[in-house]
Structure 1
Amino acid sequence: MKHETEEISKQNRTPETWHGKRYYSLDAYFKNTFGHKLNKIAINAGFTCPNRDGTLDTRGCIFCSEGGSGDFAVSFPSIETDAPYVAYFQSYTGTYAPIERLESIYEQALSNAHVVGISIATRPDCLSDEVIALLGQLKARYPHKFLWVELGLQTIHEETTHYIRRGYELACFTRGIHALAGLEIPVIVHVILGLPGESETMMLETVDYLNTLPISGIKLQLLHVLRGTDLATDYEKGLFPVLSMEEYLHILMNCIEHLSPETVIHRVTGDGPKDLLIAPIWSSHKKKVLNALHHQMKLTNSYQGKHWKGTISHASGTSNAL
């Protein structure tokens, strides 16, 4: 395995240590940076979302559960652990509150001795100048901890974004990326593979577009159909199919091969709550999916950046991702 990893690194100048994987995973990043594995604890800090409170809509995005995509999140700040961890503000929109409340919540997390950094899931239309300024101040205030922002793009295609009720235009997302990059705040982008009406070519176009932006990480998420969502209603009407595991792995590997090797891959699948998951049921066996992905990538000599046409930004070939 060591020889194969070195060969992949030589071929496309990827980070030298991917810890046996054929892509630059978040786990590898943590081990390379901190010398050990880190847990990322999902937090519900009591936020809401402009897609739910009536500002844009009251129904949320078409795929989003009642938990605001934070179905495994724990209430903030009731976290009891002595191990170092990343505080992940996952539920709903993590910058959608008065600035004083945001500062108080982020400060409480960053000042915790066990928190090595925070990751804030939000929307680009909820990144006001005031919020951007606060994030910059916190970054300077806690130089020994990190601050990431996670943005839910899902797709670059306008027709799909209208269907899923995302509620903002691509230009808004791009402005948000550049505003955060100007403060050297890393951005992780969420992309959903298998959205209704999207071809493999369309999904690859989303990845190719992200390669042109100063992003640090990406989450490649399988589309889940969850109970209580409008997506579930459309699925039960037979309006769209879900991907089989074989179809998903093929598309996923293609996306990974097109992705810049400097981008840290935070997720390659997903595990929706079993009590809510309608389809695809195979996705509930996460370990099986990951094993199949790693086996297939090795079998076909697939690796991150294999079909990427960009250039590494640092001569050392190491990632500036996070």
Structure 2
Amino acid sequence: MTKVYPWGDTRRYNSYSGYFKREFGGRVQKLTIDAGFTCPNRDGTVGLGGCTYCNNDAFNPSYCTPQKSITQQIEEGIEFHAVRYRRADRYLAYFQAYSNTYAPLEKLRALYSEALSHPKIIGLVIGTRPDCVDEAKLDYFQQLNSKYYIALEYGVESCYNRTLQLINRGHTFEQSVWAINETSKRGIRVGAHFIFGLPGETQEQMLAEADIISKLPLHTVKFHQLQIIKGTIMEQQYTTNPEWFMLFSMDEYFNFLADFIERLNPNFVIERFTGEAPPRYLAVPPWGNLRTDQLMIAFENVLEKRDTWQGRLFENKV
């Protein structure tokens, strides 16, 4: 008999695609938008140079550039995705590049209103930093959330302040906890992004993060293996001090992930397990020519072989 897991389907983790099927009855496609934001650790507010691993060009789609209007990026994004996802007829405007709440509220209202005025856009997904929101902005998103699908995604990256300092994030884990709690209590969907393999962290420390974040009121999570991207400060650090880094092989990473999600809150929707950057941007060779969907199949095979699933060892200690 096929096992059905607590989130309502037969996949061994609480998948993003499964969540959207339950929520909307079909596929909803995110359209990436670059609205020309920057970050406080780039412009000198809390630091300079940005995160040591960051090169936004490595993940922005070709149609996505701040020289184009929001509407133009949406139209070109729909056309871009139409070939592969012909079933999608509803879209979320995904403000991804840099920190998309790092501006006065008046500017945010204008940008988000333009996106929501498009007839095929049903909501917003907004990537930002925990130190780039305040109560006024969150109150505004709460108002939007009464009419549209609204989700805020925070780049948390690590639960350890020493690591956050090393990668020049410019904020603390405590600030992340505040932003997540304040967002959630307003009824807004809240996500968090984490990177595994950051310099100085052991596998034991990374594994312990499953217990730490499982106590937070998160709706979605994204996980990403560390990749050394060309043109970044981290590439220079890796060249000079490779011993600082523990880069996973694919087998090592998938077995670590299996250990991790066994301890993870089963209510969390897992949006992504791996990061994917074009090979031309990678300073260290990738795992091969496998795409994200192929990597997902490989990981699910690991879960099946181990007969494990998300939350199998989770203990609700909240």
TM-score, L = length of structure 2: 0.89
Q: Deviations over 1:97-148 (max 9, x none)?
A: 12111011111222322112111000111112221122122223x2xx2100
- Counterpart contact for 1:235–1:241, Cα < 8 Å: no
The match for 1:32 is 22
1:189 counterpart = 2:192? yes
- Counterpart contact for 2:56–2:97, Cα < 8 Å: no
Ranges in structure 2 where 5+ consecutive residues have no aligned partner: 80-88
- Counterpart contact for 2:264–2:311, Cα < 8 Å: yes
Deviation at 1:269, TM superposition (A): 0.6
| Equivalent-residue separation in structure 2 for 1:85 and 1:274 (angstroms) | 28
Deviation at 1:70, TM superposition (A): 4.7
Q: Deviations over 1:178-209 (max 9, x none)?
A: 11112111111001011122112211222211
Deviation at 1:274, TM superposition (A): 2.2
Letter in 2 for 1:278: A
| Equivalent-residue separation in structure 2 for 1:49 and 1:26 (angstroms) | 27
| Equivalent-residue separation in structure 2 for 1:283 and 1:159 (angstroms) | 32
Deviation at 1:233, TM superposition (A): 1.0
1:227 counterpart = 2:227? no
The match for 2:123 is 117
CA, structure 1 residues 175+269, in 2 after alignment: closer, same or farther (shift >3 Å)?
Answer: same
Q: Deviations over 1:281-312 (max 9, x none)?
A: 1165234422211111111101000111118x
Percent of matched pairs sharing the same residue: 33
Farther off after superposition, 90-99 or 69-78? 69-78
- Counterpart contact for 1:272–1:284, Cα < 8 Å: no
Match of residue 216, structure 2, among 206, 213, 217: 213
Deviation at 1:170, TM superposition (A): 1.6
The match for 2:163 is 160
The match for 1:84 is 90
Match of residue 74, structure 1, among 64, 73, 83: 64
1:132 counterpart = 2:138? yes
Letter in 2 for 1:202: Q
| Equivalent-residue separation in structure 2 for 1:39 and 1:280 (angstroms) | 30
Residue aligned with 1:4, SS? coil
1:59 counterpart = 2:49? yes
| Equivalent-residue separation in structure 2 for 1:224 and 1:109 (angstroms) | 31
- Counterpart contact for 2:265–2:314, Cα < 8 Å: yes
- Counterpart contact for 2:255–2:302, Cα < 8 Å: no
The match for 1:319 is none
1:276 counterpart = 2:303? no
- Report 1:160-309 matches (<5 A): 160-237=163-240, 238-239=242-243, 240-282=245-287, 285-286=290-291, 287-309=293-315
- Counterpart contact for 2:99–2:128, Cα < 8 Å: yes
| Equivalent-residue separation in structure 2 for 1:201 and 1:116 (angstroms) | 41
The match for 2:84 is none
| Equivalent-residue separation in structure 2 for 1:167 and 1:159 (angstroms) | 11
Deviation at 1:242, TM superposition (A): 1.3
Deviation at 1:271, TM superposition (A): 0.5
- Counterpart contact for 1:42–1:70, Cα < 8 Å: no
Q: How many residues in Structure 1 have an aligned counterpart in Structure 2?
A: 298
1:15 counterpart = 2:17? no
TM-score, L = length of structure 1: 0.87
Q: Deviations over 1:55-96 (max 9, x none)?
A: 1222000111154x7523724331223831111100000100
CA, structure 1 residues 63+109, in 2 after alignment: closer, same or farther (shift >3 Å)?
Answer: same
Deviation at 1:280, TM superposition (A): 4.7
After the TM superposition, list the runs of 4 or more consecutive aligned residues in structure 1 that deviate by more than 4 angstroms: none
- Counterpart contact for 1:70–1:92, Cα < 8 Å: no
CA, structure 1 residues 283+26, in 2 after alignment: closer, same or farther (shift >3 Å)?
Answer: farther
| Equivalent-residue separation in structure 2 for 1:173 and 1:160 (angstroms) | 14
